[in-house]
Amino acid sequence: MTVSVVGLGYIGLPTALLLARTRDVVGVDIDEDVVATLNDGGLPFEEPGLAELFAEVAENFSAQTTVPEDAEAYLVATPTPLDEVTEVANLRYVGAAAESVAAKLDPGDLVVLESTVPPGTSERLVLPILDRDGPDEGGVRYAHCPERASPGATLDEMVHNDRLVGGVDTESRERTVDLYDFAEGAIHPTDPTTAEFVKLMENTYRDVNIALANEFAMLGEEYAVDTRHAIELANEHPRVDVHSPGPGVGGHCLPIDPQFLTQSTTDSRLISVARDINESMAVHTLRHVRRLVDTVAHAQVTVLGVAYKGNVDDTRETPALRLLRLAENEGFDVRASDPRVDDKDFTYPLSDLDAAVADSDCLVVVTDHAEFTDLDPSRLAAQMRQPAVVDTRGILDPERWRNAGFTLSRLGD
């Protein structure tokens, strides 16, 4: 059996390679460079274990820019960005993928959509395209199975996480379960719209929970409480699970998915307020910076970490960018450094650590990379004009940094 995976990004490519363990897989992407890189044996991005998996299944995998005729199952994992101007889900890539798959479908072929989409997208947009352009006889077998893997642990989570199989009928669900033969987590059968809704609930829960943690952090500062310690204590309660405060929420999912849930309704308030709180954390972080440099003329501020979360090289929707722009607007001389992000992959110039820290008046730890936990504060203090640091992630050992001469300001403390 041949499977075609349309969209070879952070989700499509790892899924395609896992599927290729037991069958032939034709990967499809509109980006010719991605296709050429893969057919030359290279990977367009890094992810733990991906290179090893590629080497293992290379014989069963090929990439091309057009959807093949001869597949019996088509899995779509194209991006669904939020349109920057209208803040509405951009479903053009999903629509275009559905059209190109529909043109190649035979009766009884299976189509699985993994892309995260607003509730109702399968029923209102995708299935009508497949029915219109695809074969009548026997109809199309279809399921929405939203991806739930976290970057940095993608392969492990794809294999071990539970899966939602939102099929239009029993046969679609059964065929989809057979397709995911690499999945070891539990399978939860449901319908497509419920699967779409559940996926968005999960990321919205996390975004709202982080907003609550961020609000607690700001209250903790008012009450002179160490909020992170307070959260640890509260989380000892068996029914409490408060997330961690930070400089804002980034990535391609949490800042976007709640808006997929709310954009077609007037009945949501909490979710939008949570978004606003999380977006405001860069401003709050800057308030910490201002306090540390208010006596310094032409202060130089160094942002440590531009990846959206720790130990990844991914900068999509990173809160660091908002902070960098705001800090520039304050008139600070701003530098940024990230041991995991390549200068050419980020819209703001990056320097190596020593260059970014030299003569700085204030460091701001934005990303919880392991490299930053291990920094030597004495070495950094010697390079700086004024040893001050804002820790937005609670990863620096306060005693060690203060003993090295630093003025330390911790978000939420």
The answer to whether the CB of 109 falls within 8 A of the CB of 141 is yes
Work out how close the CB of 405 gets to ligand SAJ at its nearest, in angstroms, rounded to a whole number: 29
362 is catalytic: no
The pattern of x and - marking residues 145 through 164 that bind ligand SAJ according to CB under 6 A reads --xxxxx-------------
Stretch that binds ligand SAJ, among 58-66, 94-102, 143-151, 173-181 (CB under 6 A): 143-151
The answer to whether the CB of 67 falls within 8 A of the CB of 96 is no
Considering the complex, state which of residue 135 and residue 310 has its C-beta at the smaller distance from ligand SAJ. Answer: 310
Q: Does 395 bind ligand SAJ (CB under 6 A)?
A: no
Work out how close the CB of 284 gets to ligand SAJ at its nearest, in angstroms, rounded to a whole number: 13
Residues binding ligand SAJ: what is the number (CB under 6 A)?
A: 20
Residue 113 three-state SS? strand
Q: List the alpha helices (DSSP H) in 20-140.
A: 32-39, 50-57, 92-102, 121, 127-133
Work out how close the CB of 150 gets to ligand SAJ at its nearest, in angstroms, rounded to a whole number: 4
Work out how close the CB of 253 gets to ligand SAJ at its nearest, in angstroms, rounded to a whole number: 3
Work out how close the CB of 148 gets to ligand SAJ at its nearest, in angstroms, rounded to a whole number: 4
Which residues are within 8 A (CB) of 314 and not within 5 positions of it... i.e. 6 or more apart?
10, 151, 251, 252, 307, 308
> Residues 212 to 241: which contact ligand SAJ by CB under 6 A?
none
The closest alpha carbon to 62, from 93, 40, 79, belongs to 40
253 is catalytic: yes
The closest alpha carbon to 209, from 157, 254, 256, belongs to 254
Of residues 21, 23, 206, 400, which one binds ligand SAJ by CB under 6 A?
Answer: 206
DSSP H/E element including 403: helix 398-403
Of residues 73, 97, 210, 323, which one binds ligand SAJ by CB under 6 A?
Answer: 210
Q: What share of the chain is helix, strand, coil (3-state, %, to 5)?
A: 40, 15, 45
DSSP H/E element including 213: helix 192-222
Q: Does 309 bind ligand SAJ (CB under 6 A)?
A: yes
Considering the complex, state which of residue 24 and residue 147 has its C-beta at the smaller distance from ligand SAJ. Answer: 147
Q: Among 199, 309, 344, 362, which one carries the catalytic annotation?
A: 199
Q: How far is CA 394 from CA 107, 165, 227, 296, in A?
A: 56, 38, 10, 25
Q: Does 258 bind ligand SAJ (CB under 6 A)?
A: no
CA angle 405, 409, 412 (to 5 degrees): 150
Give contact residues for ligand SAJ (rule: CB under 6 A). 116, 147-151, 202-203, 206, 210, 243-244, 246, 249-251, 253-254, 308-309
| Active-site residue list | 199, 253
